[in-house]
Copies of this chain bind each other. A is one copy, B any other.
Amino acid sequence: MTTAAAHAAPSTGNRALAHPDRSEIRLEAVLHALSDPMRLAVVREMASAQGNDSPGLSCSHFALPVTKSTSTHHFRVLRESGVIEQVYRGTAKLNGLRRADLDALFPGLLDSVLSAADRQAERLGEDEGPQTS
């Protein structure tokens, strides 16, 4: 089993951020990460912008209506639960869903949550996701 550090090391070098290995991802932590409206909105936006696991969206892409430290907290919860991967590119962090890992561990779960979120947004007449810049 690779360590969490080894998992992120290839693309991020000394500034690697800690990620759980696939085998360390827990359903309860994933559900907790998705249970916050802002984090769920971020995940929905990532899912709609991204077809694979390659991190591509910077944190600043998501114009969350919160302070920078709160935003950083939300992204850290998503990363530490195994929902997203974060890698440094210069001074920016790029973010991507760990869809392959989640689908392998919990087939259908992510899609059912995303579908449920879409239905709820439609039912409540809300936007499809967070405002993006």
Using a CB–CB distance below 8 Å, which chain A residues touch chain B? 26-29, 31-32, 34-37, 40, 105-109, 111-113, 115-117, 119-120
Contact = CB atoms under 8 A, between A and B. Distances in A.
Given A31-B35, A35-B35, A37-B28, A113 B120 contact: no
Q: How many copies does the complex hold?
A: 2
A36 B35 CA distance: 11
A112 B108 contact: yes
Contacts of A28: 35-37, 40
Contact of A120 (B26, B36, B115, B116): B26
Nearest to A33: B35
A15 B6 CA distance: 56
